[in-house]
Amino acid sequence: MKFAFIIDPLNKLDPGHDSTVAMMEAAQASGHEVWVTVAEKLSIVKGQAWALLERVELEFVELIDDRWVAQENWYRVVEVTGRSLQEMNAVFMRTDPPVTIPYLYATQILDLLDPEKTLVINSPRALQAANEKLYAMQFPDVIPETIVSQDKLVIREFIEGREGGVLKPLGGKAGEGILFLHESDRNLNSLIEISTKWGKEPVMVQDYLPAAKEGDKRIILLEGEAIGAVNRIPSGKEFRGNMAVGGRVVKTEITPREQEIISILAPKLQADKLYFVGIDVIGGYLTEINVTSPTGIREIDRLNNVRLGKQVIQWVEEKLSVED
């Protein structure tokens, strides 16, 4: 089969960390062709979604002393061509946030693909509709107390009397722009002003969950089913647990409460064709549903001696064979 991955530039990916590379390796190991492109290289030609594609061959990372080690030249471009994406069996849309207008154009180009012929992961329609922060608001029973607002008074009122609040830009990732808010902070007004661009952009503000100190758990879901999890513990000098800001990854299990959250999300994720997502759970509360380019596979594989990329590729193969 032919698999295309729409990614950030390949030379910017970290093969020992990025889930995209784990899935690309798994596709290659299963005998599939691996093609890559970037959102900026998509076009519509003769009415079809078209891309300038590179076929790549990967040298797989190796686990050495509990670390993924990649060769310096870990990929080789073996062919460059422009072709209709309809020739691909599966297309993974794995561009990192923020979701910009050009990102949305890319998903609208992918909309032209016939779902009977090419499986797009995640569904372009769902990527247009599901903001990673706001989508969680559809599950009010399992999220912490949360507001979304650009109004300073509304945000201040929410913060008053609380141990703390966590402010999140709606388009961020990897801890970017995440702020701890407290009513006594002399910078509070200024933080709200800067984050909302002086009242022009809404942000999310959530009740601060003290359990965040014990970790922000990433659970990877494949068509609504958990396939693995990893806990990320803040470094001690930082309240955020993201790996990108030094969060320590540790092995973990999925608790009954987390399983309950997953079973609440699953029907909606399946209906929306959000096949591959990463949810974040703190102290038994859902805090985020990552739909664009969730990570975690490499860490889970290393800690649990599993190969989630392989599981994802097998799932794609089965999904496509059912549709044949």
The SS3 of residue 118 is coil
Q: Which is nearer to Mg ion, 33 or 280 (CB)?
A: 280
Round to whole Å and give the CA distance between 294 and 143.
Answer: 19
Residues in the chain: 324
Candidate residues 92, 208, 276, 315; the one interacting with ligand ADP per rule CB under 6 A: 208
Q: Which is nearer to ligand ADP, 174 or 227 (CB)?
A: 174
Q: Check if the beta carbon of residue 101 is closer than 8 Å to that of residue 32.
A: no
Structural tokens at position 212 = 């965040």
What is the closest distance, in whole angstroms, from the C-beta atom of residue 136 to ligand ADP in the complex?
9
Applying CB under 6 A, does 172 fall inside the site for ligand ADP? Answer: yes
Check if 280 is active-site.
Answer: yes
State which amino acid sits at residue 258. E
Question: Strands 33-37, 276-282: parallel, antiparallel or unpaired by DSSP?
Answer: unpaired
Q: Which is nearer to ligand ADP, 17 or 240 (CB)?
A: 240
Active-site position among 217, 232, 298, 310 = 232
Candidate residues 258, 288, 299, 301; the one interacting with Mg ion per rule CB under 5 A: 288
Check if 240 is active-site.
Answer: yes
Active-site position among 240, 298, 302, 310 = 240
Structural tokens at position 5 = 């991955």
Applying CB under 6 A, does 134 fall inside the site for ligand ADP? Answer: no
Active-site position among 280, 298, 307, 310 = 280
What is the closest distance, in whole angstroms, from the C-beta atom of residue 242 to Mg ion in the complex?
6
Phi, then psi, of 132 in degrees rounded to 5? -60, -30
**Would you say the C-alpha torsion 9, 12, 16, 17 has a positive or negative sign?**
negative
Candidate residues 280, 281, 307, 315; the one interacting with Mg ion per rule CB under 5 A: 280
Phi, then psi, of 116 in degrees rounded to 5? -75, -25
Phi, then psi, of 305 in degrees rounded to 5? 50, 50
Round to whole Å and give the CA distance between 173 and 126.
Answer: 18
User: Under rule CB under 6 A, which residues in 214-233 are in contact with ligand ADP?
Assistant: 216
Size of the site for ligand ADP (CB under 6 A): 23
Active-site position among 218, 298, 307, 310 = 218
User: Which 8-state DSSP code applies to residue 245?
Assistant: G
What is the closest distance, in whole angstroms, from the C-beta atom of residue 255 to ligand ADP in the complex?
17
What is the closest distance, in whole angstroms, from the C-beta atom of residue 20 to Mg ion in the complex?
17
Which run of H or E residues covers position 34? strand 33-37
Interface residues toward ligand ADP, by CB under 6 A: 144, 166, 168, 172-176, 178, 206-209, 212, 216, 234, 240-242, 280, 282, 287-288
- Active-site residue numbers? 133, 168, 218, 232, 240, 280, 288, 290
